Amino acid sequence: VEKNSMIDTWLKKHCLIYVGATRHPFILSIRDGTVNLSSFKTWLGQDYIFVRAFVSFVASVLIKAWKESDDSGGDMEVLLGGMAALNDEIQWFKNEASKWGVQLSDIVPQKANKDYCRFLESLMSSEVKYTVAITAFWAIEAVYQQSFAHCLEDGTNTPSDLQATCLRWGNDGFGQYCHSLKQIVNRQLAKASDDEIKEAEVALLDVLEHEVEFWNMSCGGA
Q: How far apart are CA 19 and CA 12, in angstroms?
A: 10
Residue number closest to ligand HMH, CB atom: 144
211 within 8 A of 54, measured Cβ to Cβ: no
Residue 9 one-letter amino acid = T
Q: How far apart are CA 199 and CA 159, in angstroms?
A: 40
Local structure of 43: helix, strand or coil: helix
How near is the Cβ of 166 to ligand HMH at its closest, in Å? Answer: 13
- Min CB(17)–ligand HMH separation in Å: 15
Q: For residues 146 and 192, which CB has a smaller minimum distance to ligand HMH in the complex?
A: 146
Q: How far is the CB of 99 from ligand HMH (least distance, A)?
A: 18
- Identify which of residues 50 and 130 has a Cβ nearer to ligand HMH in the complex: 50
Least Å distance, CB 144 to ligand HMH, is 4
Cβ closest to ligand HMH, residue 59 vs residue 190: 59
- Residues annotated as catalytic are 211
| Length of the chain, in residues | 222
Are 26 and 39 a contacting pair, CB within 8 Å? yes
Chain residues that interact with ligand HMH, rule: CB under 6 A: 47, 50-51, 140-141, 143-144, 211, 214
Helices within 69-152 (DSSP H only)? 75-100, 111-123, 130-150
Q: Which is nearer to ligand HMH, 141 or 199 (CB)?
A: 141
